[in-house]
Structure 1
Amino acid sequence: MRRILVGLLLISWLGCLVWSFWWFEGQYVKAFERPAYFSAENVAPPFPSGEVQVLHVWQAGCACNGGHEAYLVNMTERFAQQGVKFARAGSASSDGLPEALKKLDYWSIPAQWVNWPGAPAVAIWDASGKLAYVGPYSDGAHCSRDSSLIEPVIKTLLAGRPVNIVTQDTVACLCDLE
């Protein structure tokens, strides 16, 4: 009788383990790298024209954030010293956001951008207030100075040259915006 009870307990324990793994995988282990189509109508930037402006579109709790957080902090600090203005969109609450984003002004995504494909992503305006770039930070789940799609855009705009990348097909790590 004792062996049967131990056997049933072991089978129950294994069943719970399998169910837990299945549940965890369904909730948190998803394929976030997916094809996305970015297209944005030119809207007024978060701040008055005069400087290059970057809008971080960020969704708190997104599994894709981890690969971008260190770069976001570094890039924001470096370019802010060069006069670039930064704002954030996406999660209205600052809960779960990196400290660097909590300090930024919140800007609601405009109604014209209702089909924004996901976060983390970015929108960049030139100093005249013209939308120059919309899209992901990089083509993968991680971003650094070497893999960044936006660093060359910001440097080009700071040099006074035009950029127009407001429509693009890409594959990126993105979470749906809430």
Structure 2
Amino acid sequence: MPTRRRNLLVSLLAILWLGAMLAAFWWYEARYIRPFDTRTELFSGAELRLPAELAGPGPIRLVHFWDPACPCNVGNQQHLAELISRYAPQGVMFYAVQRPGSHGSLPQTLSALLPLEQLPGSENLPASPAVGIWDRDGRLAYFGPYSEGALCTSANSFIEPILDALGAGRPVQADSNLAAGCFCDWTASE
């Protein structure tokens, strides 16, 4: 095969390969990458209460508020699984409340979360995913998001410092928080 013909064939194959790679990238970007829309929410736990069977003195209790249809929940599931593996052996109890009217289930990695019906005051939550943490005296110590930003990891989480402080017996009072992050509406659509 003459050199000029070989160079033309190699160049044509390289151009076709590059075009296929660009098309694959554009398809992936359109299918899986979404721009992060900053949404600011005010989380106020003033009306939030544990159900009667969990209220009062006891272990530290963490309640995960989630919506199966919310893509923001995927961003914190790995972090929540890490929280369970780290703090459940220390006696922290983990619960989950699903958005009213939604259908779905948590992944197997979060099977340690005990399901709860709606908590008193949870019908007016501003958004999900959210978390409520009650101390050993049964007082709401924290209510708000897991972190600020598009994703939640142990590097940017608000939760570990609160659980560590409560575990050490230090008081925490952070039941109202303003945060920007990935949130979905909580109230059920009528």
TM-score when normalising by structure 1: 0.75
Q: Which residue of 2 aligns with 1:16?
A: none
Write the letter of the residue equivalent to 2:91. G
Question: Closer, same or farther in 2 for the Cα pair 1:108/1:32, shift >3 Å?
Answer: farther
Aligned residue pairs total 154
Unaligned runs of 5+ in 1: 1-20
Aligned to 2:58: 50
Question: Which residue, out of 108, 112, 119, partners 2:117?
Answer: 108
Is structure 2 residue 183 aligned with structure 1 residue 160?
no
CA distance in 2: counterparts of 1:33 and 1:101, whole angstroms: 27
- The answer on 1:82 being equivalent to 2:90 is yes
Q: CA RMSD in A?
A: 2.6
Work out which of the two has the higher radius of gyration on C-alpha atoms and give 1 or 2: 2
Instruction: Tell me the secondary structure at the aligned position of residue 35 of structure 1.
Output: strand
The Cα offsets for residues 2-26 of structure 1, whole Å up to 9 and x where unpaired, read as xxxxxxxxxxxxxxxxxxx9xx99x
Given that 2:36 and 2:150 are in contact with CA atoms closer than 8 Å, whether structure 1 keeps it comes out as no
Question: Which residue of the partner structure matches residue 144 of structure 1?
Answer: 153
Please say if residues 63 and 131 of structure 2, whose CA atoms lie closer than 8 Å, have aligned partners that are also in contact: yes
Contact 2:94 2:112 in 1 (8 A): no
Which segment is superposed worse, 108-117 or 58-67? 108-117
Change in 2 beyond 3 A, CA 1:72/1:50: same
Instruction: Check conservation: 1:57, 1:90, Cα contact below 8 A.
Output: yes
Q: Percent identity?
A: 36
Question: Is the partner of 2:181 in helix, strand or coil?
Answer: strand
